[in-house]
Chain A
């Protein structure tokens, strides 16, 4: 009996050796832990870290408010962006976290490093309009452009790094938070920059904790480790009725839709594309596929961004009778098997989706089943990107784009004929001289009213030509513990590192 208990004791000891019960230390009021899904690869804006202002350590020449207004940041004021020369004057008295004063040389260095081919910067293409950047004096930066490009002001959110700094070294910026430490694969610790030129954040210590797995992140949120986290819509359900936490939904400009090959007999027919737009059940997609965290989409520019044309809208419910009438009028007659034909061509096309993306797969299935009801046979093909690349000129594809910032972003490349057949830009070879003219006009002028008018025409033309079949806009869902003032929701971009709702942590104050 004694022997047995001795051996059993060893066994129990081995299992419980270190599991002394203890509680996680309650976080202080001035410390916030954000649970994020994807860890950045590098913390340098030059290497693609949060170029659209989602960085808390760096400031750009300009910054955006949550409602997408552009404000001067390191620049003293917003410049005129007419013509091929854009001049910024720097704010006075700004210093980097290491105490060095900000000068125009830092700005020139930052942009030159982005444009330098050897750095393989992933964002180099965004700055293709820049010919060179120079600094006539300590406080003036001049952008020389290859062509008039009004969105350069929006692009100037790029964070500024110190002149001659090492790109993979310790991040040094001018932002509201300064870098403390980075445990790779785990978290980044930041502290408030007490010498910040703007309002010093009330949250003094900020931890960005990274957990890729959605379930693991939900669990860590439930266990009280995070102050706030981003979660997919289905994972936030368990937090909705919990005391002490709030679930927030933010609209985004991130859409999913079908990109059509224009040179093909079926998808090249305007009547087919219009009928599909009438036939798809967008409300079912939002409720069933997105668990409610989405909105029906009718165009490439999201409502709420300030650029959206309110007339570009429609019914989330399908109108199958109207869809059938459109097809009949265009000569697509129903055949014996229920599939319509016109001059011996069956209303049939292939819709591709990236095989690993379950959201796009579900949307493709929904499109195919809705299309069937009006006599269009959609064959599905789940492929990897390299296979999709080869077939984009022939087959339709479920794609996603969308940005809340400048309407020129991506839309120029997606709809301008000069990009026809260039990679993922306009692979369907849409070609309309009127569209080219509008898109060129839109980037030439910086006059807000004129641009709004131009891009409203762009949206209407895209709708009239049914270039894409727009399906849904996604919503981002967040869980936040405790009461905070200063938390603001705006239309978010797809990439949101620490932008979007969690980026407003700069302005958070405990609500007591």
Chain B
């Protein structure tokens, strides 16, 4: 029943956390030098009379005190109303509803690729330590870790779309098609998923490599070898199990970076997801949309950590037996 305790404990923490995060977001947005009305009007702000701008400001309640604005927002949230996006002129729920699926699709696929490629390649590098393969993998991983995601994205477009012409450079489907078909969608997903997974997995891969190298030196591995077990059995049955435990926790802790990575990848590949919308919401100081997206990102991080901890109880009997502190 350890997991019940973990979930209850986490939920109790989540409520004040969400309150603090959203209030902090409101306070920051309020302190931001950008005027939401000017951002809403865009280029037109320069040719709009101060009187019309004042009217919009009053309609949005921007002249009210911060606490009152926050209380109104919170009240609406509790009654299920996320408000209206100012920059997109649509209900926030609709904006998120239209886009969340596409983001989950890319992030989910990238996560799967990371979960497979990270440990496999990391273990492989550790197992054949100091070989040409290990050097290639670690070298590439370090380079990738230093490269910004959007740069990797643009490079991938240049190589695979422009030079080789294998894959489309962006968008959800072919620009000319009006319906979403599966083969078309898959072809468009390859680059965003690969870039997101690739840019996020180098750190994991290096971590797994270190961890496996460390475990391979442990006594129980030496003991297993001494009992005459085959190298592969030692690696897969004994060393990996112990080396991958911290990996689970790290996966959970990496969720925020996956979220930021998704924002950049969506922007570079014109992917119509919710993460790319965050940039727009932030730039246009769209409080209602930004607040909802912040809430969503916070929930993603909390859920990521929770899932990692639950997975840990499955993987490590000590946690299951002794419980969490």
- A residues contacting B by CB (< 8 A) are 3-4, 7-8, 10-11, 14-15, 17-25, 27-28, 31, 33, 35, 41-42, 47-48, 117-118, 120, 122-126, 128, 167-168, 180-181, 183-187, 189, 205, 207, 209-213, 215-216, 219-220, 222-223, 225-226, 384-387, 399-401, 409-410, 413, 422-425, 494-495
Told that A185-B277, A211-B270, A386-B34 touch, could you supply 5 new A-B pairs with CB distance under 8 A? A11-B121, A22-B166, A212-B267, A220-B170, A494-B43
Say whether chain B's binding surface is mostly helix, strand, loop, or mixed. Answer: helix
Q: Which of A17, A168, A187, A212 contacts B90 (CB 8 A)?
A: A168
Assuming the contacts A207-B175, A219-B158, A385-B35, asked whether A118 and B44 have C-beta atoms less than 8 A apart, the reply is no
CA distance A384 to B40 in the complex (A): 16
Scan residues 271-300 of chain B and give those whose CB is less than 8 A from a CB of chain A.
Answer: 271-273, 276-277
Which residue of chain A has its CB nearest to the CB of B41? A122
Assuming the contacts A183-B172, A187-B175, A216-B270, asked whether A424 and B45 have C-beta atoms less than 8 A apart, the reply is yes
When distances are taken between beta carbons in the complex, the residues of chain B under 8 Å from A23 are: 165
- Least distance between A204 CB and chain B CB atoms (Å): 12
CB-based contact B89/A41 at 8 Å? yes
CB-based contact B176/A185 at 8 Å? no
Name which of A11, A118, A210 has the most chain B CB atoms within 10 A of its CB: A11
When distances are taken between beta carbons in the complex, the residues of chain B under 8 Å from A167 are: 89
**Interface membership of B80, Cβ < 8 A:** no
When distances are taken between beta carbons in the complex, the residues of chain A under 8 Å from B167 are: 19, 22
Stretch at the interface among B6-14, B185-193, B212-220, B316-324: B185-193
Against A, the Cβ 8 Å flags (1 = close, 0 = not) of B103-117 are 000000000010011
CB-based contact A216/B170 at 8 Å? yes
Assuming the contacts A7-B124, A25-B174, A180-B178, asked whether A216 and B169 have C-beta atoms less than 8 A apart, the reply is yes
When distances are taken between beta carbons in the complex, the residues of chain A under 8 Å from B267 are: 212-213
**Interface membership of B120, Cβ < 8 A:** yes
When distances are taken between beta carbons in the complex, the residues of chain A under 8 Å from B172 are: 183, 186
**Interface membership of B71, Cβ < 8 A:** no
Q: Which of B52, B232, B268, B272 contacts A125 (CB 8 A)?
A: B52
CA distance A21 to B168 in the complex (A): 10
- Least distance between A393 CB and chain B CB atoms (Å): 14
CB-based contact A187/B171 at 8 Å? yes
CA distance A510 to B74 in the complex (A): 56
**Interface membership of B67, Cβ < 8 A:** no
**Interface membership of B157, Cβ < 8 A:** yes
- Least distance between A335 CB and chain B CB atoms (Å): 37
CA distance A167 to B89 in the complex (A): 9
When distances are taken between beta carbons in the complex, the residues of chain B under 8 Å from A399 are: 46
- Least distance between A219 CB and chain B CB atoms (Å): 5
**Interface membership of B17, Cβ < 8 A:** no
When distances are taken between beta carbons in the complex, the residues of chain A under 8 Å from B307 are: none
Which residue of chain A has its CB nearest to the CB of B54? A423
CA distance A42 to B43 in the complex (A): 15
- Least distance between B161 CB and chain A CB atoms (Å): 5
Which residue of chain B has its CB nearest to the CB of A120? B56
Q: Which of B44, B98, B165, B268 contacts A216 (CB 8 A)?
A: B268
Q: Which of B49, B116, B175, B270 contacts A425 (CB 8 A)?
A: B49
Q: Which of A33, A215, A385, A387 contacts B154 (CB 8 A)?
A: A215
Assuming the contacts A183-B272, A185-B271, A422-B50, asked whether A19 and B89 have C-beta atoms less than 8 A apart, the reply is no
CA distance A209 to B269 in the complex (A): 12
CB-based contact A4/B128 at 8 Å? yes
When distances are taken between beta carbons in the complex, the residues of chain B under 8 Å from A17 are: 113
CB-based contact A424/B46 at 8 Å? yes
When distances are taken between beta carbons in the complex, the residues of chain A under 8 Å from B50 are: 422-423
When distances are taken between beta carbons in the complex, the residues of chain B under 8 Å from A189 are: 178
**Interface membership of B162, Cβ < 8 A:** yes
CA distance A186 to B188 in the complex (A): 12
* Total contacts A-B at CB 8 Å: 188
CB-based contact A122/B124 at 8 Å? no
Which residue of chain A has its CB nearest to the CB of B48? A125
CB-based contact A21/B166 at 8 Å? yes
Against A, the Cβ 8 Å flags (1 = close, 0 = not) of B53-77 are 1011001100000000000000000
CB-based contact B171/A19 at 8 Å? no
**Interface membership of B33, Cβ < 8 A:** yes
Which residue of chain A has its CB nearest to the CB of B40? A122
Assuming the contacts A33-B175, A226-B175, A422-B50, asked whether A41 and B88 have C-beta atoms less than 8 A apart, the reply is yes
CB-based contact A47/B89 at 8 Å? yes
Enumerate 26 A-B pairs (CB-CB under 8 Å) in ascending A order.
A11-B121, A18-B189, A19-B166, A25-B177, A41-B87, A41-B89, A120-B60, A128-B49, A184-B99, A184-B272, A185-B272, A186-B173, A186-B272, A207-B175, A209-B175, A211-B170, A212-B267, A216-B170, A219-B158, A220-B171, A222-B162, A384-B34, A386-B33, A386-B35, A401-B47, A423-B48
CB-based contact A42/B88 at 8 Å? yes
Against A, the Cβ 8 Å flags (1 = close, 0 = not) of B234-268 are 00000000000000000000000000000000111
CB-based contact B120/A181 at 8 Å? no
CA distance A33 to B277 in the complex (A): 23
**Interface membership of B142, Cβ < 8 A:** no
- Least distance between B60 CB and chain A CB atoms (Å): 8
- Least distance between B29 CB and chain A CB atoms (Å): 14
CA distance A510 to B21 in the complex (A): 56
CB-based contact A422/B49 at 8 Å? yes
CB-based contact A184/B98 at 8 Å? yes
- Least distance between B169 CB and chain A CB atoms (Å): 5
Assuming the contacts A14-B116, A33-B176, asked whether A24 and B124 have C-beta atoms less than 8 A apart, the reply is no
